[in-house]
């Protein structure tokens, strides 16, 4: 991957910074600072095209989250923010400084809200990196703004396949990474469950026109055909904000699909499921949601009904082991005041925060005489791009050349007593 450095001097400086990064992996933050202190930070930063973020003495390290924290999808964004907060409190100071997380609302249903959040972030020269967005739709217009500012972003919950496909219009670019999986794996797992566990032969799908929904349903359709010659009777779209689905449901029912796969969000998801029970032709049709409605909004909007009709939900397999159960969840519950997670991406957000903090430590060029610290933007990106066998909460993580870093295990759940309970997983025993 081509690096955007101004000169050979810049290459030399970045090599020194990345060499210090290797030292920091096995050293304390103070030791890391000492290692990088061999470089004149002002001169080093002037040699880098993207320059450095300067943090004056006594000021915190500043990063931003850009998540959906208001409206019906707030369960998703707040879940991730609690994961970030658990990591922040567990880790404490970094390089002897407090860490401030600025929380921007990047929304979900309106793609433009991602760009608005990004513009607010880049207007703050103290921000070192970003964790967002919640929804793939808002990441598309956000990333060009962040990349132009040289800010690395790690999303905890974007899953659209196209975000890590170079050449695609939705490609997130060289500064985009995610600790969530690509929906190729979620769609393939859904198809495997349809073919091997449910044994159905026909499905219908719904999407809302977003990269996430449209691409996930398409992967499921393609894999359903490939894995067991399954037939898709219809693939229909809805609009964010729609409230009456009776006419569409009646049309879908005319083809008698055995399953309707609906990778959409709330409030449309719960409304769609509720209204489906009013259509006689769908009385025996199985409702199947994905991670966009595998959250508190679905439980609140149609949880009792979803449990009664045996609705299925795909999403990340949360069986991360003892560290997640014994340490992360108690800390999460203490912060959130809940007894269950709000949505399934808090662990990915925890990993995103820790990876970003490690990258900041690695990118510490040095301090000048008045105590101002300098951090290379390019070195932050290089550290994340080179992440290999990282011992994350959600698994052992390695970032590929296109920014995919997440664990790939998927579970299929049903609701029992208001809690999502796995009935199938792609995780090896």
Per-residue pLDDT for 283 more than 60? yes
Mean pLDDT of the chain: 93
DSSP H helical segments within 153-295, as ranges?
183-192, 211-228, 246-253, 268-276
So what's the pLDDT on residue 35? 45
More confident residue, 427 or 6: 427
Model confidence at 265, pLDDT cuts 50, 70, 90, reads very high
The answer for residues whose C-beta is within 8 angstroms of residue 356's C-beta and 6 or more apart is 63, 128, 129, 131, 152, 154, 380, 384
So what's the pLDDT on residue 37? 46
Per-residue pLDDT for 302 more than 70? yes
So what's the pLDDT on residue 321? 94
So what's the pLDDT on residue 38? 60
Cα-based distances in Å from 167 to 5, 140, 164: 23, 13, 9
Per-residue pLDDT for 354 more than 50? yes
User: Can you tell me which residue has the tokens 């595998």?
Assistant: 294
Of all residues in the chain, the percent with pLDDT exceeding 90 is 90
Model confidence at 18, pLDDT cuts 50, 70, 90, reads low
- What number is the average pLDDT over the span 43-59? 96
Classified as helix, coil or strand, 94 is strand
Give the C-alpha separation, 404 to 164, whole Å. Answer: 7
So what's the pLDDT on residue 337? 97
- What number is the average pLDDT over the span 142-157? 98
So what's the pLDDT on residue 31? 39
Angle between helices 211-228 and 183-192 (to 10 degrees): 40
Cα-based distances in Å from 213 to 281, 320, 418: 25, 26, 25
Q: Write phi, then psi, for 86 (nearest 5 degrees).
A: -60, -45
More confident residue, 19 or 68: 68
Cα-based distances in Å from 358 to 21, 352, 354: 9, 10, 6
More confident residue, 150 or 12: 150
Concatenated DSSP letters for 362-402?
A: HTEEEE-TT--EEEEHHHHHHHHHT--SEE-SSSEE---TT
Classified as helix, coil or strand, 267 is coil
Per-residue pLDDT for 36 more than 70? no
**Which residues sit opposite 424 in a β-bridge?**
412
pLDDT tens string 322-348? 999 999 999 999 999 999 999 999 999
So what's the pLDDT on residue 26? 41
pTM of the model: 0.91
Neighbours of 12 (CB within 10 A): 14
pLDDT tens string 303-312? 999 999 999 9
| Cβ density class 304-328: b for 16+ within 10 Å, e for less | ebbbebebbbbbbbbebeeebeeeb
So what's the pLDDT on residue 16? 55
So what's the pLDDT on residue 299? 96
**Which residues sit opposite 422 in a β-bridge?**
413
* Largest CA-CA distance found in the chain, in angstroms, rounded: 76
So what's the pLDDT on residue 429? 78
pLDDT tens string 182-239? 999 999 999 999 999 999 999 999 999 999 999 999 999 999 999 999 999 999 999 9
So what's the pLDDT on residue 7? 41
pLDDT tens string 94-132? 999 999 999 999 999 999 999 999 999 999 999 999 999
């Amino acid at each position: 991957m081509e690096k955007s450095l101004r000169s050979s001097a810049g290459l030399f400086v970045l090599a020194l910074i990345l060499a210090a990064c290797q030292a920091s992996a096995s050293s304390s933050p103070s030791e890391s600072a000492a290692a990088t202190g061999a470089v004149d930070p002002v001169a080093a930063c002037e040699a880098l095209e993207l320059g450095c973020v300067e943090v004056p003495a006594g000021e915190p390290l500043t990063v931003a989250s850009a998540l959906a924290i208001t409206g019906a999808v707030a369960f998703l964004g707040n879940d991730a923010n609690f994961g970030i907060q658990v990591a922040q409190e567990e880790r404490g100071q970094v390089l002897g400084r407090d860490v401030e997380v600025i929380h921007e609302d990047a929304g979900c249903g309106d793609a433009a809200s991602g760009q608005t959040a990004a513009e607010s972030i880049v207007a703050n020269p103290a921000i070192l990196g970003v964790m967002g967005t919640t929804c793939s739709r808002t990441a598309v217009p956000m990333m060009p703004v962040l990349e132009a500012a040289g800010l690395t972003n790690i999303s905890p919950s974007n899953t659209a396949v196209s975000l890590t496909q170079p050449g695609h219009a939705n490609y997130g670019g060289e500064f985009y990474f995610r600790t969530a999986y690509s929906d190729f794996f979620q769609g393939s797992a859904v198809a495997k469950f349809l073919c091997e566990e449910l044994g159905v032969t026909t499905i219908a799908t719904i999407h809302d026109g977003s990269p996430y929904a449209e691409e996930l349903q398409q992967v499921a359709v393609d894999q359903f055909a490939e894995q067991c010659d399954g037939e898709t009777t219809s693939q229909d779209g809805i609009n964010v904000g729609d409230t009456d689905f009776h006419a569409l449901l009646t049309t879908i029912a005319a083809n008698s699909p055995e399953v309707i796969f609906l990778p959409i969000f709330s409030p449309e998801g719960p409304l769609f499921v509720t209204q489906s029970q009013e259509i006689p032709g769908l009385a025996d049709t199985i409702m199947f949601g994905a991670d966009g409605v595998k959250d508190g909004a679905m439980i609140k909007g149609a949880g009792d009904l979803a449990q009664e009709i045996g609705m299925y939900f795909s999403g990340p397999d949360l069986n991360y082991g003892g560290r997640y159960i014994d340490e992360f969840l108690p800390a999460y519950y203490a912060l959130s005041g809940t007894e269950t997670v709000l949505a399934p991406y808090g662990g990915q957000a925890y990993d995103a925060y820790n990876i970003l903090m490690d990258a900041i430590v690695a990118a510490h060029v040095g301090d000048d005489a008045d105590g101002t610290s300098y951090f290379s933007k390019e070195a932050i990106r290089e550290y994340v791009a080179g992440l290999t066998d990282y011992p994350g909460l959600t698994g052992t993580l390695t970032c590929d050349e296109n920014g995919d870093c997440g664990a790939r295990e998927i579970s299929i759940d049903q609701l029992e007593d208001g809690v999502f309970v796995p009935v199938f997983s792609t995780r090896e025993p």
